[in-house]
Amino acid sequence: MPDARVERFDAPDGTKLGYHILGDGPPVVCVPGGPGRASVYLEDLAGLSDTHSLVKFDLRGTGISELPADRDSLAFPRLAEDVELLREQRNLDRMDLLGHSAGCIVAMTYAARHPERISRLVLVTPSAHLFGDVSDDLEAIRRSRSGESWYPDAAAAQAELELLPPHRRNRPTPELRMFAYGRWDERCQEHAASTDSQMSLRATAAFGAGADFDVDALRTGLSKLTAPVLVVVGGRDGLTGVRAGYLVADLMPNSRVVEIPAAGHFPWVDEPEQFRSALGDFLD
């Protein structure tokens, strides 16, 4: 993967924000997930930087972006406004916007507030938890891996996790990371091993919206989005599942879903050729 160019700018509250640029083609602004994970894990999105310029945003409190003095600004509705600051910083009239995992809710919040700024929207393995989804396909997806050598230990870790209070269940543990990948080979293990060093626990903890966040207003905004939307899901995604992607797609009128059967939560790692083909066809 080529070296990225690094740019920084100051938000109005004085927080210094940064992003990484890979490639020299048409820009795609990339919002990482985690929540609270630095954008480096997105890599070059299976070679998408060969044809596009990937603008990988480190959300405040992660990667090269500073932790703000106001911790409330780490909540996802506020992060969506940082995306607007980045658009202005790059002098983009409209943009192709990509979100992954928890970054999808930031991207959707932005799109609902600024639909005129979206050329195309890509949502990779989104969660529908905010909209009431209980991810009831996850158990079946995880059970489908029961023939693999690591499964007994992972299933035991999952059972222990379910005994914890709800607020302590959101932190991914190493024993369960296998469920995030379509296979558990050396490539996927290497990608998973970088997780801890790329996470900001403060950013993770503060990501959830406050009690005053209006989900109905978000639904309404998304229902009026006319830009094309691509939702990519992995058939082996043991973190957010498959069903969530279809529920999210139903919120927007001009959307379609591409399901990659052998991929997990990080389809550019599991099935790079299929992932690159899906995004390339859509963005080109």
- Predicted confidence at residue 161, as pLDDT, reads 79
pTM of the model: 0.95
- Per the structure block, which two tokens stand in for 276? 């690159």
Percent of the chain with pLDDT over 90: 85
39 within 8 A of 58, measured Cβ to Cβ: yes
Domain range 5-142+199-283, its CATH number among 3.40.50.300, 3.40.50.1820, 1.10.1040.10, 3.20.20.70: 3.40.50.1820
- Whole-angstrom distance, CA of residue 146 vs CA of residue 200: 32
Task: Using the predicted structure, report yes or no on whether residue 283 has a pLDDT greater than 90.
Answer: yes
Instruction: Please give the pLDDT value at position 213.
Output: 87
C-alpha span between 262 and 144 (Å, rounded): 12
- pLDDT, tens digit, for every residue of 59-106? 999 999 999 999 999 999 999 999 999 999 999 999 999 999 999 999
State the Cα angle at 138 between 132 and 140, rounded to 5°.
135
Tokens for 255?
Answer: 């959307």
What's the average model confidence in pLDDT over 228-247? 97
C-alpha 272 chain-centroid distance:
17
Q: What are the tokens at 229?
A: 């939307």
% of the chain residues with pLDDT over 70: 95
* Least confident interval from 50-54, 178-182, 213-217, 223-227: 213-217
pLDDT at 259 over 60: yes
Q: What is the pLDDT of residue 2?
A: 65
Task: Give tens-digit pLDDT for 131-176.
Answer: 987 778 999 999 999 999 999 999 898 888 777 776 555 555 778 8
Q: Which of 6, 5, 4, 15 is nearest to 82 (CA)?
A: 15
